[in-house]
Amino acid sequence: MAMFSRFLLAAILLLSGTMKLRDPTLFAHALVSFRLGFSEAFVERSALLLPWLELVVGGALLLGWKARGAALLSLALMLAFAGGIISLMARGLDVDCPCFGQLKLVCSGPLGVCHLVRNTVLGALSLIVLLKGPGRFALGGPESPPHMRPSS
Amino acid sequence: MRLLKDALILTILALLAGLAHSMIRPVDITVIDTSTRGEEVAPGVVRRGKFLFVSPTRAHELHQAGLTQFFDASSDEEYEEGHIEGAVHLPIEDVSEGSFPQALEGLPPDMPMIVYCSSGCDIAQIVVERLQEMGYSNVMVFDGPFDVWKKAGYPSVSR
């Protein structure tokens, strides 16, 4: 279960990061559409830093290297994205999902309930890896969280 | 503790990669707040930053006159769902750097154009910006999503 969650999450994060980096301008403009008062400089930097964070976290999960740390970051990302979606919905703003560039994965149309559910599923996958460790086929072997390690 | 250390290492790696990327190829955008009033330059046309925004009423008049080319910057699915009558589909990936979309073939550089989209309408601004970079000088952004046009009962095509 942990290995399956890790690979699935890795694939989605790698896809997401790659698609955002293919057209960072699109992602930057989507961030502006959130109307949260972000400055131009912040948006321009985030348009590159966030996709790279997804790529690094996705890569780490794929390899099983520092997988629990990656899962923690992935969970934080999902919570931040969920916060953004809820904020948009509360303000009645229609913003196209910049999640995978122009690619629509499961959900289409403006950010809404479908994206929130998708995000919750990804958050749950992150939590599984965080709590259970990376599972099999991980670089450095299956790393267990402290409460699951055998006592010596 | 180790968990936080690992997360921090990964964050630093991402920061370094992002900074290196921004030094090699920075992202340069212009933030246009479409909720601001803007400066009126002609009836139904306001300037906000470097873009001209055309009101739905004025856009409809231009549509009726038949001298303006409308472009729909929405996704394939949204375009098929419904679009302004006569609008040509011009999604953002068609105007990515270095490509020349078929939709523009034969159009003179001074052809009046209006670009709109269905939701998240900053996409229309990016398309307008790229059209301007290609040399099209008479391009405006439709001030609102396609829904505004449709609700006004202006001519549209629906699936």
What tokens appear for A95 in the block?
């913003």
What is the reported pLDDT for B118?
Answer: 81
- For residue B133, is pLDDT > 50? yes
CA dihedral B47, B51, B57, B59 (to 10 degrees): 140
- For residue B150, is pLDDT > 60? yes
Residue in A44, A68, A145 closest to B29 by CB: A44
What is the reported pLDDT for B64?
Answer: 94
| pTM metric for this prediction | 0.70
* Structural domains of chain B, with CATH: 39-158 (3.40.250.10)
d(CA A76, CA A9): 14
Q: What are the chain B neighbours of A32 within 8 Å (beta carbons)?
A: 29, 31-32, 122
Nearest to A84 by CA among A32, A14, A20: A32
Residue in B2, B5, B18 closest to A48 by CB: B18
Residue in A29, A35, A55 closest to B125 by CB: A29
Round the average pLDDT of chain B to a whole number and report it: 87
Rounded to a whole number of angstroms, the distance from the CA of A123 to the nearest CA of chain B is 16
What is the reported pLDDT for A152?
Answer: 46
Task: List the single range of A31-45, A107-121, B43-57, B67-81 with lowest mean pLDDT.
Answer: A31-45
Taking only the tens of pLDDT, chain A with its 152 residues reads 888 899 999 999 999 999 888 878 778 877 777 777 777 788 888 889 999 999 999 999 999 999 999 999 999 999 999 998 898 888 877 777 777 766 677 787 778 899 999 999 999 999 999 998 887 777 866 555 665 555 54
What is the reported pLDDT for A83?
Answer: 92
Q: How far apart are the first and last CA of chain A?
A: 26
What is the reported pLDDT for A29?
Answer: 75
Tell me if A54 sits within 8 A of A17, measured CB to CB: yes
The interface predicted TM-score of the complex, written ipTM, equals 0.84
Contact B29 A32 (CB under 8 A): yes
When scoring A13, A22, A32 by the number of chain B Cβ atoms within 10 A, the one with the most, hence best to mutate, is A32
Q: Work out the average pLDDT over B112-131.
A: 83
Higher pLDDT, B16 or A3: B16
d(CA B158, CA A79): 37
